Chains A and B, each alone.
Chain A
Amino acid sequence: MIISQKIAASLTVWTAVWVVIVGSHDIELFGILMLIGLLITRELTTSYTDQETGVKMDALISIGIILFVVVISHRVLSILGIF
Chain B
Amino acid sequence: MKISKITSKIAGAVFIGIGVYLIVFTEFRNAGFGALFIGILTLLIINPETVEDKVATAELESNVKPMHDLLSDLNVMGKGVMVAPNNNLKNTRVFVPAGKELRALPDLYDEMVIVAGGAGRLGVSLVPPGKPIYDEALSRLDTTMSDIEGAREVMGMLSHGLDMAKSFSVREEDDLLKLRITHGRYDDYCARVMERSEGICEKTACPICSSYLMALTESIGSPLAIKEFEKEGKHVKYDLEVLE
Contacts and interface: CB of A to CB of B under 8 A. Distances in A.
B45 A53 contact: yes
Contact of A30 (B33, B44, B140, B156): B33
Contacts of A1: 163
Interface residues of B, number: 26
Given A2-B48, A56-B44, A51 B34 contact: no
A19 B45 contact: no
A24 B27 contact: yes
A48 B161 contact: yes
Contacts of A22: 30
Interface string A31-69: 100100000000000011111110011011000000000
A16 to B, nearest CB: 7
A3 B33 contact: no
A25 B28 CA distance: 9
A7 B30 CA distance: 21
Nearest to B140: A50
Interface of A: 1-5, 7-8, 11-12, 15-16, 18-19, 22-27, 30-31, 34, 47-53, 56-57, 59-60
B31 interface: yes
B44 A60 contact: yes
A11 B140 contact: no
20 contacts: A3-B163, A4-B45, A4-B47, A5-B46, A8-B38, A12-B41, A19-B30, A22-B30, A24-B27, A24-B29, A25-B30, A30-B33, A30-B34, A48-B157, A48-B160, A48-B161, A50-B140, A50-B161, A57-B45, A60-B44
B98 to A, nearest CB: 40
